[in-house]
Amino acid sequence: MIFIAIIIQLAGLALLYRSWCTPNRKSGTNAAAWLVLITALWPWQQAVGLEYGIAFWCVAIPLIAWVFVVNNREFRNRTTPPRIRKHAWPEKKQTVHAVLKILITGPVALLASFVCASFLSAAAYRGAGLAEANHLVLNLSLLLLFWAVIIYWVTAKPLRWQSTSALLTFAIGGSFWLYG
């Protein structure tokens, strides 16, 4: 069964590669390729169970895909011109800004994420009657997701006092709801 699963995944990726090689990639072929790839989940879970099956399916994709990537490698020889050495210190601006943003907004972002995650998981807890363990694990999972998104959002946007104070107000307001 494992062999069948690998063959199906190989077929799916081959289809994806074939579609990729044509000048005008057809979305139909791409969709079919992904469908074949997803189909491989079935023999995987038949062979090793649902949990291992999903994990094996996930880790098999990069290993098979790299066979096609290596097969498709191309050589473009050109020597790089030597680079000038500047007696300059590291570009402080970008790094310092990023560090400052993370330092300033990191704990605020954590609190804001926790407020959001607690609100949503509490709603699911009360609304859908979630069990306590499910409620807490959902809370932590959402917290991690929101925190990662807020870190991205904060680092992507220029640091402005309006957005920072909005985040701060939300975090403090939410803390009153949680801890007040």
Cα separation values, 169 from 121, 151, 158, 177, Å: 21, 17, 19, 12
Based on CB atoms, which residue is closest to other proteins, 132 or 160? Answer: 132
d(CA 35, CA 7): 14
Least distance (Å) between residue 37 CB and other proteins: 12
d(CA 14, CA 21): 10
* Phi, psi dihedrals of residue 158, rounded to the nearest 5°: -65, 145
Least distance (Å) between residue 80 CB and other proteins: 6
Based on CB atoms, which residue is closest to other proteins, 126 or 157? Answer: 157
Based on CB atoms, which residue is closest to other proteins, 130 or 168? Answer: 130
The backbone region for 82, taken as left when phi is positive above 0, alpha when psi lies in -120 to 50, beta otherwise, is beta
Least distance (Å) between residue 98 CB and other proteins: 4
Least distance (Å) between residue 169 CB and other proteins: 19
